[in-house]
Amino acid sequence: MSFKDLGLNEKTIQAIEDLGYAEPTTVQKDVIPSILEGKDIFTIAPAACGKTCAYIFPLIDIISQKKKQNILILAADSAESVNISDKFSIFNKYHETKENSDEDSVNEANVIIASPSLLLENIAENSVDISNINILVVDDINLIKKKRQLANLEKILELLPANKQNIIFTTRRSKETQDILNKILKTPAEIKIDKNKQSEINQNNQNEPTISNVVSQTTPLKEKHSRYQKCELNQDKKAFDLAKRHKVFGNRTPSFLLADTKLVEIADS
């Protein structure tokens, strides 16, 4: 089976092929068509099976349709948020927008990527609105539990509209997360990937895409009480030019894409 068989847009497939991705992994074969059909999905999948791209590829197609979708992606921490938004930028590179078009600006999607705690901080500051979210992605709920973020996740769910598409991933089912899953999901398509599919991305030549020497090509929501350092991305012209070519959503959407200078969190040792 090829990526084309899954119903993806030709521009998305071109970006996928540029990275040398030969064929979809098992989780991508199961998840991508279901997301494009608008179904609720609950997926149990091991690490390194290609689950992140399983939702990024179809969401890029949905964003490119310019139907003013509002997408919320909850990740376990800021580092994973950056990883997700990097992939959005890379695989979206052929879906160029006309930045001067008023019609495009009105119909552009809005994409928020954050950890539960960081999102709640920004909601409290009235800097982000999640009352009109159409698509919710939780990646993954088991890692969010390990980060002691389940209580924050529940608070966020109370603020979200009931009528939305829900896409939930986990590495394992647990009693602690089941009550929350019951609140999110009604009649989802449940997809379970065998543990022997772990590291399938290596077998399918899906190497992790990166933009060399760019500390972060995204601007995820800033975390309070952290130490920050100003990073001049244009100090490395080659890396900056490469990253700039991938900034193709336009000025308005999503808000997490590359800026010439930004604050980059310094990890605590």
Please check the confidence at residue 117 and state whether its pLDDT lies above 80. yes
Does 105 reside within a domain?
Answer: yes
Average pLDDT estimate for 132-153: 94
In a domain, 220, yes or no: no
Distance separating alpha carbons of residues 114 and 220, to the nearest angstrom: 7
* Chain-centre distance for alpha carbon 6: 19
Cβ pair 42, 186 in contact under 8 A = no
**How many C-beta atoms lie closer than 10 Å to residue 197's C-beta?**
17
Residue 255 has pLDDT above 50, yes or no: no
Q: Which helix (H) or strand (E) holds 32?
A: helix 26-36
What CATH code is carried by the domain that includes residue 106?
Answer: 3.40.50.300
DSSP-assigned beta bridge partners for residue 187: none
Confidence class of residue 225 from pLDDT cuts 50, 70 and 90? very low
Q: Is residue 9 part of a domain?
A: yes
pLDDT tens digits along 30-78: 999 999 999 999 999 888 888 999 999 999 999 888 778 899 999 998 8
Count of domains forming the chain: 1
Confidence of residue 150 (pLDDT cuts 50, 70, 90): very high
Return the top range by mean pLDDT from 77-86, 139-148, 168-177, 191-200.
139-148
Q: Indicate if the pLDDT at residue 94 is higher than 70.
A: yes
Read off the pTM: 0.75
pLDDT exceeds cutoff 70 at 221: no
Instruction: Name the residue range of residue 114's domain.
Output: 4-210
Residue 239 belongs to a domain: no
- For residue 257, tell me if it sits in a domain: no
- The answer to the question of residue 125 being in a domain is yes
The answer as to whether 229 is a domain residue is no
Task: Let me know if residue 18 belongs to a domain.
Answer: yes
